[in-house]
Chains A and B, each alone.
Chain A
């Protein structure tokens, strides 16, 4: 998939500007100063070392969740409910992280991450299985699994996995042997995420499996004609997409949270959708968008304290960015020929 710089790259930039402009009107309408808010965003997100660290750390997580969505989109699957896979991966990781004692970090951490990925894959793969065998559209099944997983992790955190000595509902702390070390203060998760992006990029560029998934995503009939099992590809696509989402949940716990509370993870899967669509499902091209959104997310709480504006402004800004970047309004204005991205058409299996 080619991503022409020049005009096509202008589309996201122009979309961000348009979103900021509309956001400014809404902020002003609430009686706040938009400039103040945007200044906090930039200062907190991108200026200080601490701000940049937080941004890149968050960006790493968002690159990974963006990759989860991207992986599905390339196979013609819209894993809109990646959030549920993130949650199940995170809780599974946390459980292994606090429960299994006495392992060195180089075994404990990878093992816990693997289990996290496995649980994400189970949830995603189940949706893939339902689609391949029963014709259940993944958009509905993953959204439903989202709510189901939210209920399940809520139940487990309140009961079996609960740290009873604390008044609030949370799990015990993840052991140090399952925490992600920082290298010279640089967020390791970001490096892992970039490596993962390169790997996913390679899969779709060079491997036969990637070519099979891509072909299924672009023309299912031709894929079947060419000897590619469409059903197998659907299950595999959802399985890997879910695995990446579960891995993302694990990485976030290992690097940032340190223990599990469901609310910590809110928005990760949904931001992944925005990021994947902004980067037009190109594993490498999603990185700049993820850094941008990572900055906004890490400055989110500061906006409320310092500018007095509801932190939900970020959700609104991101929604506007996505709208402008995918609807052909701006693309037409600057005469970009970037094709809009498509998922599967219709409800058919």
Chain B
């Protein structure tokens, strides 16, 4: 099927990266491991945010409100955790917030058939308005999620240290969740229906599959993942909430989704690649290898996003019905 139809240059890129990894692993295992591990830390939130996009777009809904979903759920997650002194409650509330936010998005796009780009924009503006107004300084959470090693996998040669040690639970959860979404999308009945709805809603409708239901549920599952990411960033990665902490990462995630051809594993690989680039530039900065002004370092992810889209956007095929609300054919 189409997903095996990988462009040769993508394959070459992968091989080149692997070669560099192996070379530097042999040359300096410790630094390599720490760069790869921090690449994972940078990449995982983006990979999960890209999953939000995939869940929505595979069922035919464009979601540019990922940014707002993460912002709102990071907000509620953090403050509830701070108030209840319990980060588990915080994370659950973050997920719930994600679901509710995406429910509003789903109502706008699926039920009211609004322009999907505008609907997502409204989610973003609402989230930014709400969180900035309700924001209060000085709150703290009792603890961050513990960082731990996975017993056996952590000792695997080569990949063990980078992937399975010194990470928080949500990081590991992501490693399970992303393949699970892939399996769901390509192996289950729900996945088949989701893809059918995203490609040709008419085909699903005439086969007795409710287009509205499939879309609503997928968008809300996406929202739950978005909530998880928001909570993840505020409760594990950063440990606090700050205004506009998403800083465009919801849009970067969409670019990674496109680069990964709407395939969960593809988007994951793209996000890790992105995270690695960021980790590498941070390392270079820390060790003073370069004296590039820090503004140009902060600019890198954005430049990277544009470059990624410029090489891939015109060549990949999005789900055919993405962006279009479903109207039953008349007469």
Contact = CB atoms under 8 A, between A and B. Distances in A.
B313 A345 contact: no
Q: Which of B133, B247, B248, B251 has the most CB of A within 10 A?
A: B133
Given A343-B117, A347-B318, A347-B323, A323 B122 contact: yes
A154 B293 CA distance: 11
B75 to A, nearest CB: 13
Contacts, number: 149
A191 interface: no
Contacts of A30: 134
Nearest to A317: B129
A42 interface: no
B133 A26 contact: yes
A127 B296 CA distance: 20
A277 interface: yes
Contacts of A151: 295-296, 298-299, 302
Interface in A126-165: 130, 133-137, 139-141, 143-148, 151-152, 154-155, 158-159
Interface stretch (B78-86, B184-192, B303-311): B303-311
A155 B129 contact: no
Interface in B121-150: 121-122, 125-126, 128-130, 132-135
A48 interface: no
Given A147-B247, A341-B115, A136 B133 contact: no
B303 A148 contact: yes
B129 A318 contact: yes
Interface residues of A, number: 53
B313 A143 contact: no
B117 A152 contact: no
Contacts of A26: 133-134
A337 interface: no
A148 B133 CA distance: 26
B125 A319 contact: yes
Nearest to A137: B313
A41 interface: no
A100 interface: no
Contact of A319 (B129, B252, B255, B298): B129
B100 interface: no
A322 B124 CA distance: 11
B118 interface: yes
B258 A326 contact: no
- By size class, the interface of chain B is 35 or more
B108 A147 contact: no
Interface string B223-264: 000000000000000000000000110011011001000000
B116 interface: yes
B114 interface: yes
B141 to A, nearest CB: 22
Given A144-B306, A277-B118, A343-B118, A135 B313 contact: yes
Nearest to B255: A140
Contact of B108 (A135, A159, A320, A327): A327
Contacts of B129: 312, 315-320
A147 B302 contact: yes
A139 B64 CA distance: 9
Interface in B88-136: 108, 112, 114-119, 121-122, 125-126, 128-130, 132-135
Interface of B: 62, 64, 108, 112, 114-119, 121-122, 125-126, 128-130, 132-135, 247-248, 251-252, 254-255, 258, 293, 295-296, 298-299, 302-303, 305-306, 309-311, 313-315, 318, 322-324
Interface of A: 26, 30, 78, 80, 130, 133-137, 139-141, 143-148, 151-152, 154-155, 158-159, 270, 273-274, 277, 310, 312-313, 315-320, 322-323, 326-328, 340-349
Given A139-B117, A143-B251, 14 more contacts: A134-B313, A137-B309, A141-B309, A144-B255, A144-B305, A147-B247, A151-B298, A154-B295, A273-B121, A315-B128, A315-B129, A320-B126, A342-B115, A345-B324
| CB-based closest 10 A-B pairs | A135-B314, A346-B323, A319-B129, A316-B129, A312-B132, A315-B129, A155-B295, A345-B323, A151-B295, A144-B302
16 contacts: A78-B118, A78-B121, A136-B309, A136-B313, A137-B309, A139-B117, A140-B309, A143-B251, A144-B251, A148-B303, A151-B295, A315-B125, A316-B129, A319-B130, A327-B119, A347-B62
